Each structure stands twice: as C-alpha cells, then as structure tokens.
Amino acid sequence: MPELTKDMVIAALSKVRGPDLEGDLVSRNMVSDVFIADGKVYFSITVPSERAKELEPLRMAAERSVTAIPGVKGALVTLTADRKAGSAAPTPAAPAAQKGHTHAHPHSHAPANAAPARPQKAGVPGVRAIVAVASGKGGVGKSTTAVNLALGLMANGLKVGLLDADIYGPSVPRLLNISGKPKQIENRIIVPMENYGLKAMSMGFLVDEEAAMIWRGPMVQSAILQMLREVAWGELDVLIVDMPPGTGDAQLTMAQQVPLAGAVIVSTPQDLALIDARKAITMFRKVEVPLLGIVENMSYFLAPDTGARYDIFGHGGARTEAERIGVPFLGEVPLTMDIRERSDAGTPVVVSDPTSPSAEIYRQIAARVWEELTGRKQRPVPAIVFD
C-alpha cells in the first residue's frame, strides 16, 4: 500500500464540487493546510459564516472522499469562516479586537443603544459551568494546576471534566496517564477518555505524542470548538479548560465564542511572570469574562530533606497583584519534589497522596473557585444541535 501523502488528499478533494456546484474545493482555495498523523487526516474547509449550517453536506462529502483513500483510518473535517470562501489566496484573520469590535465594560456608562447586543454564545448541553485556567506565558505550571484543580473539585464532591485546549503542546494525556484513542459514536460525537474518575479530552489522544502540529489559526480554533462541543461530556458541574499559554487566536476563540463562567489565572511570583499574567487578565476583562482569581504557583520551595523554605522566585507577587486589581487570591502552591514527580508519573498529587499538604492546598483552591462560581449568577446554557 503506497504511503499516504498530502498530494493524495488534495487530489481527492479536487473532485469535490464547491458551494452551488461552482468549481471544486481545491481550485477555490477552500481547503486549509492538510495534516496527517497515524493514518488520520485533519483539515478545514473555509465557507461563509452565514452558510455554515447549510453547507454541512459539503463537509460530509469531503470527509467521505478522503476516507475512501486507501490507508486513511479516519478524517477530522471542520467548517471554518475565517476568510471569504473562494478567495484567491488565504490571508490571516485579525482577532476581533483588532477589527474594531469593542465591548463595553460591565460598569460602563455608555448609552444602551451605543452598540448592538452580542449574540448569545453556544454552550455545552449538560455542563453547568465552563472555567478557563490560563496564564500569560508557558512554564508556570498551568497544566499541572488545571489537572489538580479539576481533581480537587471532584474530591469536593462535584462532577468535573477537563478539556486540554493546548493543540500544539498537549500535557493532559501524560499528567493523567491516559493512552489510546477515544471512540466515536453517532453524529461524530467523541467519547472522552477517563482516569481517576475524571473525563478528559485532548488533541494528545488523537495524534502521536511526537507529532508536530503545524496548523494555522483557523484549524486550531475549529479543533478546540469541536473537542468542546462534539464530545459526550454528560452531566457536569464544571468543565475545566486548560488553555494554551499566551493571548493568541486560541484564547480569543474560547473567550469570544464560549460562555465561560470565569477564568483562573496561574502565575509564579516573579515580576516577569506577572507581566505576562497581566496580559491574560486584560484579555479576559476586555471580552467580559469574570476573573475567579489568581493562583501563585511555585510560590516557595520546601527542601525535601530539611523542610526548610526557600523563596526561589520571590514570594507574594501574585497575591499583591490580586489585591491591586481587586480579584480574589486563590492560594499559594509550593514548588515541591512531590508535585513534580507525581505529575511526571501521571499520578496527580490530589489522587495519589490525598492526605498530603499539597493535595490539601489544591482542594482549598478548588473550594474557593467553586465559591466564586456559585456566588455569581450563572449564565443559562442553551441547547445546541449537532447536524
């Protein structure tokens, strides 16, 4: 059997007619970069946003065409509306904030008719609240915090799921010690993977751990929304979303298109990390996502032999920042060998050593997050229909 190549995929898609039977998908520049991993093909089709629902048969035709190629084990095909379909050449989409779309602050005194009301964001049936765990930069322990926060909420008696929204560097499979591929049921719905009683979804379950995800913004956005809305999460009190680091397209997609109940910001104590954390805080405020609080990770180091405490990265910076901007300070997580070793082994400290001081810290942070959520009026979650 010949090796599966992008050229084979493009050749198959060139036989799929475009909208209104005009031309084909390839000649009309409607196909994004094609990515192949483990015999599975990933790509998106760019269509006008107002016609996305009507052009679902087009997506299905493209999917059938690709899965018919010898050697293809499956295809992930999504519709995007990042640019005008059929344009001569793709151009990067500017974030909404750069296109002149502004949103008034909740306490703004602007007149009610100053701007049209924003459309209601589509939620996830059965999920009571969606919470983003974010940071302004990588390397601050955000994913470890997200996993232990989710498990801490579970330990406090809640039904919880975890979505790994970091397409380029998914960490959840390793942190939860989950391997294998998720199953797909009717209507392209995916059954989430599970360990320690926690339902989880990650791009790391769909592609090889060493595969390089060379995707442009529209494909990343589509993949995140599909993992969010086309997964059988069931009834959940909270869905924790481990956001990618930074404030780029993926973060804006979640903030602008998903009814987030709030965001938790993770930072280390030093000034450089706090500078980037402020960028994440600013982004969420601009898109009117409530800030549930700040976690200071790697707050201090406890020597495993003597128990002596060392403030390697300084101390108290995140608490001071929280007080300065008027958001809750959720807690300090120490830098310990215990947390690091158990995270690397895929046995998070909250479940592998539940009586330890570290596990108790995460449960307390989880309790404070839940208090912030239940203290706010929750937005209604509308039902959505999968075609």
Please write the tens of the pLDDT for every residue from 184-200: 887 778 899 999 999 99
Q: Does 148 share its domain with 57?
A: no
What contacts 162, CB < 8 A, 6 or more positions away?
146, 147, 150, 172, 176, 198, 199, 200, 201, 239, 240, 241, 242
Token code pair at residue 356: 């330890």
Q: Does 143 share its domain with 276?
A: yes
Q: 55-75, pLDDT tens digit by residue?
A: 888 888 998 999 899 988 878
305 occurs within a structural domain = yes
Question: What's the number of CA atoms in the CB half-sphere (13 Å) around residue 244?
Answer: 21
Q: Read off the pTM.
A: 0.68
200 occurs within a structural domain = yes
141 occurs within a structural domain = yes
**Distance between CA 191 and CA 341 in Å, rounded?**
29
Token code pair at residue 122: 């589509």
52 occurs within a structural domain = yes
Q: Does 40 share its domain with 134?
A: no
| Cβ contact 43:215 at 8 Å | no
Please report, for the domain that includes residue 51, its CATH number.
3.30.300.130
Token code pair at residue 331: 């807690």
The parent domain of residue 68 ranges over 6-80
**Distance between CA 13 and CA 31 in Å, rounded?**
8
**Distance between CA 241 and CA 165 in Å, rounded?**
6
97 occurs within a structural domain = no
pLDDT band per the 50, 70, 90 thresholds, residue 163: very high
Q: 105-138, pLDDT tens digit by residue?
A: 333 333 344 434 444 566 788 999 999 998 866 6
Q: Does 61 share its domain with 171?
A: no
**Distance between CA 352 and CA 317 in Å, rounded?**
30
213 occurs within a structural domain = yes
Q: Does 20 share its domain with 158?
A: no
160 occurs within a structural domain = yes
DSSP letter at 27 equals T
Please report, for the domain that includes residue 368, its CATH number.
3.40.50.300
DSSP 164-232: E--SSS--HHHHTT--S---B-GGGPBPPEEETTEEEEEGGGTS-TT------HHHHHHHHHHHHHSB-
Q: Does 58 share its domain with 134?
A: no
